[in-house]
Amino acid sequence: MLSAREKELIAEIWDRLTPVAEDIGAEALLRMFATEPGSKTYFSHLDISPSSAHLRSHGKKIVLAIAEGAKDISQLAVTLGPLQTLHAYQLRIDPTNFKFFSHCMLVTLAAHMRNDFTPVAHAAMDKYLSAFAAVLAEKFR
C-alpha cells in the first residue's frame, strides 16, 4: 500500500534519475549478474561486460520503464501492458529474477543517493518495485 506522500517521493526520485538512466540501469544489472550468476543466462545473446553498449542500452530501457511507471502508479497495469506481454510470451524470465533485480536496484540507489536513500525512501521504493514486478508478471499464467 503506497501513501500519497510515498508516491510523490517515488516519482521525484525517478524523475531525478532519468538523466542518468543508463548509469543506474547498467549498474543494477551488473550487480545482479555478480550476485546471481543464474540471471546471466537470459543475456547469452548480448555482451554484458561492464560498460558494453548492450548493457548500457538495456539498463537504460529498464530504468526508463520504471520511471515511466512511477509517474502514475495507479495506472501500472495500463502502462505496462505491452511489457507484460513481452515478458510473458517472449522473454519468459523466471519471476524470482525480478526480486533479484529489484534488490540490486535498491543497492544501486543506496550507493548513489547515500544518506538521501533514507529508510522512508527505501520502504517506498521497495514497495513500488515489488508492485512493478507483480504487474509485470501478471500475464505469465
Q: Is 20 in the site for other proteins (CB under 8 A)?
A: no
Question: What's the Rg (C-alpha) of the chain?
Answer: 14
Q: What cell does 138 get?
A: 501478471
Q: Is 101 in the site for other proteins (CB under 8 A)?
A: no
Q: Which is nearer to other proteins, 93 or 107 (CB)?
A: 107
Question: Interacting stretch for other proteins, rule CB under 8 A, among 11-19, 33-41, 68-76, 82-90?
Answer: 33-41
Q: Which of residues 34-63 bind other proteins (CB under 8 A)?
A: 34-35
29, 59 in Cβ contact below 8 A? yes
CA separation, residue 60 to residues 3, 56, 57, 134, 141 (Å): 27, 6, 5, 21, 28
Residues forming the site for other proteins (CB under 8 A):
27, 30-31, 33-35, 103-104, 106-107, 110-115, 117, 119-120, 122-123, 126
